[in-house]
Each structure stands twice: as structure tokens, then as C-alpha cells.
Amino acid sequence: MIKIYNTLTRKKEPLPEPQAGKPLKVFVCGPTVYDYAHIGHARTYIFFDFLAKYLRSQGYEVEYLQNITDVDDKIIKRAAEENKTAEELSKFFTEKYLEDMETLGVDAITNYAPATKFIPQIISQVERLIEKGFAYKIDGDGWYFDISKDKEYGKLSGRTATQAEDALSRIDESINKRNKGDFCLWKFSKPNEPVWPEKNLGDGRPGWHIEDTAITEKYFGPQYDIHGGGVDLVFPHHEAEMAQQESASGLKPFVKLWIHTGVLLVEGKKMSKSLGNFITIRDFLKKYPPDVLRWITLTHHYRSPIDYSDESARQAKSAIDGTQKFLAGLEFSSKNISEDSPRGDNPIEKKTDIAFASALADDINTPTAIAHIFNAILELQPKIWTIEPDTAKSLAKYLKGKFAALGFSFKSPEIPAKAWQLASERETFRVNKQFVQSDALRKEIDSLGYVIEDTPKGPFLWPKNQI
């Protein structure tokens, strides 16, 4: 049984068992596309990608939906600064975002839903809220949700309506609002802003929160299974979503399970361009391979904050290199074993399997699951060159499978035939105790970029820059 922490109930709750033909409906808030995606986005999206794949591996059908906020104040502002239309800017950054996700191996999403493609659904939801008395109009401004009409407003974030009113900076501002915490559903567009002609509401554009509930209502209906996003979205965004959808439909709960990832900070601070600590996924990938971001993400529990630094990336790279070297060594140790050789007896596999599975089933504890694989590696390391070849083969396949389940690609480096040939010539000199010749060849191999390790199973080569 899989248990996951629910932000709404503040408890770990069991997921219902998988049911054929009854997919889990999962929605995760997508990015606001006014800039390149950063490593904080990567943390959140790598985690939810892993979650969807993990649930599928456990027999669940998962319909994973993600919106893209492609109309928003931030987009309009940035587009004006760059002398572009909001549409041009958001189209450009949507493409870049999708490219980044592909590079990171984030590919579990079933449907991407850009907000601007769901304007009729957004309008319909705003109209229902008006009809039911939850929304009111401010002339020259827009339609607002009246939080005092929803007696349960604040139940997700644990804020009362009064506290909500204090958090002005993240809520649409208007001096004419009924309550300070009221948020905008439909904004009347100003000149040069994107505008959708609308007879009943007035020409305008959607507010931030309504796009998500309109999209999920279209795909999933008024109630669904799992809603995810970063913890920064609990208030006001997810609180507002819940208020809107439950008020519009009268059905509760809007969502059964709310999952939130912790924030990624850079050297203890929120990323910002002015602090110079804003790291886009693209910039990160100029220095490190994509597996490094996945490593950093999954070696932290998804609810914990991550304090990123260049040092943490170097350490992750070094852990990955060491793991790859170990796996390549195991494969080397099983040389000349054919695919259908009998499997070795591997109590380590059994032990690791149980521990790995129970860590993931307990609130998706990826760091503990990874620690169990490492325990296996630490146990095997001293015997790597003496393990029976068929056992080594089986273990290599098993451990690679575990890393693949976590989404790591772990490609072994291509070592050129020339280097292997030199290593074999050197081995002959070494065995014959012709150390001068053998040292000369070691140096030649070194100049090609490889180190040689003499093992009971022959010389093993590895790139110098991956140690």
C-alpha cells in the first residue's frame, strides 16, 4: 500500500488500490512562460514526473495533466519590455520549456493545456460563480471572487480569511475589493493587453487561478484525485482554486490528495535575477549532465527544501560517476557470460528490493530508496573483482534497473578500441614483469584520457574525468 502526505489533511494517507479502467487523475501546475525555466522548476517537475512513472510501475493508470500559463501579468509586462506581443513571448518560452523538459527526461505528462486554449471553459466557470453569488464586478477592473462567501476558505493553507487578507502582495490588488483577500477571476483588458471579446462579462482576460480549474473541469470533471505543485502555490493559488471549483460545482472535495514539493533555494536564498543567483535549466546543463539535476532532486525528500550550490552539483556529479564506474566494473566482472547464463544467488537483490519498495511506498521517500541501493553497492564494492561472473551480471542488471526506475540514464562512456588494445599489450608486459614497457603504455593510455586499474579479471579502463 502506498501512502502519501496530503497537505489538506496534514497526514500521510493511503492511495486506493489500482483499478483497471479507473485512471488516477493527476494535475500539476505548469509554468508561467515569460522566461526560461529554472532549476527550481526542474526540481518540481522531475519529482512529479517520477511520481507518475512510479505509480504507473505499481499498476496505476495515470492521466497526468499540466497547464501552461500563457496569459498573465508577468508575460504582458515582459513582452512590453521586449517590444513583443504577449502571444509571441509566451509561444517562444513554451517551446523552450518543452525542450528543457525533454532534455531532463520529463515525459510522463499525458496532456499539456495552455490556458489560452480554454477561454470558453474559463468564461463558463466565471459565469457560474456570478450566478451563484460568489463573484462581483468592479467597474473598470474585473470580476472578483468574494472569499467571505466561502465559509471554508483557508482550509488548505490553514489561514483564516482574515490572515488571507494580510497577504496582500500575492493577491490581485484593487482598492475597491470587498475583502482584501478577494482575487480576480476575469480582468478587463487595458489597451495593448491580450483581450477576448466577451458580451456578458466584458472584454477581458482570465485571472491566474481560474485557468487551472477550468482546465481540470474540462478534462477531469469537478472532482479529481491528485493536485500537485510547489509549496509556494498552496496560498493563494491552490486555496483559490479549491474555493472556485467547490463554489462553482457545490461538490466537495475538489481534490482528494494535495501534494506539494519543497522550494529549491540557491545558497540559502530564493532565486532572483537581481541577486545574480538565478540558474536556468539551460545554463545548468552547460556545466552538468541532466542526471545531476535528477540526482539532486531525488536524493532529497520531495517535501524538504533543497539548498542548491555549485558544490552540491559537483558532489552529485561525483556520486553519479562513482556509481557508473561501479556498474561498469560489475559488467566487466561478468565478461564472457551470455544472456542466458543462470542467475546467481543474490540475497542482496532480495533485501534491497524490499527496502527500496517500502521506502517509496512510504511517502515517496526517494532518498531512503537511493540509500538502500547504496548499501548494496557498499556491500558489493570490496568483492567486485571476485564475484562469480553470473552473479555479477545479474547484479549489474538489477542495479541498473533500479536506477532506471528512478529515471537515471547512466550511459557507460564509450572507451575507444585503441585504449583497450594498449591495455592488453601493457598487460602482457606487466605479467612478464617488463615494467618499463608496461609503464610507458600506462602513460600512453593516460594521455588518451583513461586510467587503468589492474584487476584479477584483467585491466579495467575508466575515463580520468569521471573519477
Q: Which residues bind ligand AMP (CB under 6 A)?
A: 29, 31-32, 40-41, 43-44, 229-230, 232-233, 261, 263-264, 271
Tell me if 264 sits within 8 A of 294, measured CB to CB: no
Size of the chain in residues: 467
Least gap, CB of 353 to ligand AMP (angstroms) = 31
Task: Please report, as a single letter, which amino acid is at residue 360.
Answer: L
Task: Pick the closest to residue 32 from 90, 80, 81 (CA basis).
Answer: 90
Would you say 208 or 326 has its CB closer to ligand AMP? 208
Least gap, CB of 40 to ligand AMP (angstroms) = 2
Task: Give 273's contacts (C-beta < 8 A, 6+ positions apart).
Answer: none
Q: Which residue is nearest to ligand AMP (CB)?
A: 230
Least gap, CB of 172 to ligand AMP (angstroms) = 15
Sheet holding 135-138, edge to edge: 135-138, 142-145, 183-188, 204-206
Rounded-to-integer distance, Cα 419 and Cα 435, Å: 18
Least gap, CB of 32 to ligand AMP (angstroms) = 4
Rounded-to-integer distance, Cα 205 and Cα 118, Å: 11
Would you say 232 or 362 has its CB closer to ligand AMP? 232
Tell me if 63 sits within 8 A of 24, measured CB to CB: yes
Rounded-to-integer distance, Cα 338 and Cα 438, Å: 32
Would you say 80 or 231 has its CB closer to ligand AMP? 231
Would you say 32 or 244 has its CB closer to ligand AMP? 32
Would you say 40 or 154 has its CB closer to ligand AMP? 40
Least gap, CB of 271 to ligand AMP (angstroms) = 6
Least gap, CB of 397 to ligand AMP (angstroms) = 34
Rounded-to-integer distance, Cα 261 and Cα 29, Å: 12
Least gap, CB of 89 to ligand AMP (angstroms) = 14
Least gap, CB of 177 to ligand AMP (angstroms) = 23
Least gap, CB of 86 to ligand AMP (angstroms) = 15
Q: Which residue has the cell 539551460?
A: 282
Looking only at the bridges linking them, the beta strands covering 111-114 and 62-68 are parallel
Which cell is 27 given? 494535475
Would you say 224 or 462 has its CB closer to ligand AMP? 224
Would you say 142 or 230 has its CB closer to ligand AMP? 230
Would you say 211 or 246 has its CB closer to ligand AMP? 211
Q: Which residue has the cell 472578483?
A: 144
Q: Which residue has the cell 480569511?
A: 161
Alpha-helical segments (H) within 237-383 = 239-249, 281-287, 290-298, 310-333, 347-361, 366-380
Would you say 193 or 232 has its CB closer to ligand AMP? 232
Task: Pick the closest to residue 428 from 403, 408, 409, 454 (CA basis).
Answer: 454
E-assigned strands of 30-141? 62-68, 111-114, 135-138
Looking only at the bridges linking them, the beta strands covering 11-14 and 3-6 are antiparallel
Least gap, CB of 346 to ligand AMP (angstroms) = 38
For 28, 100, 289, 320, the CA distances from 295, given in Å and listed in that order, are 21, 17, 10, 8
Would you say 52 or 271 has its CB closer to ligand AMP? 271
